[in-house]
């Protein structure tokens, strides 16, 4: 069965790329390059699906926004 997941990718202050999958809580990884990140997040998704007790949340991607907050 082929499944498709939205992946959020960010870059941290040390230059690492960080990927997370909103439909699979706790499913995230990091890597130095985007190519390595692709491999790692695919593996992380496969592992999360093996461990999943129930069907992943069904979320439809809408958009990503950057919000600025002054504190």
Name the residue ranges covered by the structural domains of the chain: 8-51
What is the value of pTM for the model shown?
A: 0.80
Q: Give the residue carrying structure tokens 């496969």.
A: 46
**Is the domain 8-51 a CATH 3.40.710.10 member?**
no
Query: Which residue stretches of the chain have pLDDT < 50?
Result: none
- pLDDT computed for residue 54 by the predictor: 59
Which residue matches tokens 């706790």? 26
User: What is the C-alpha to C-alpha distance for residues 45 and 57, in angstroms, rounded to an integer?
Assistant: 13
């Amino acid at each position: 069965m082929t499944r498709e997941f939205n992946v959020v990718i960010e870059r941290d202050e040390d230059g690492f790329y960080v990927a997370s999958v909103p439909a699979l809580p706790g499913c995230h990884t990091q890597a130095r390059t985007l190519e390595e990140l692709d491999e790692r997040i695919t593996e992380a998704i496969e592992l999360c699906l093996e461990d999943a007790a129930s069907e992943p949340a069904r979320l439809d991607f809408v958009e990503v926004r950057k919000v600025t907050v002054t504190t």
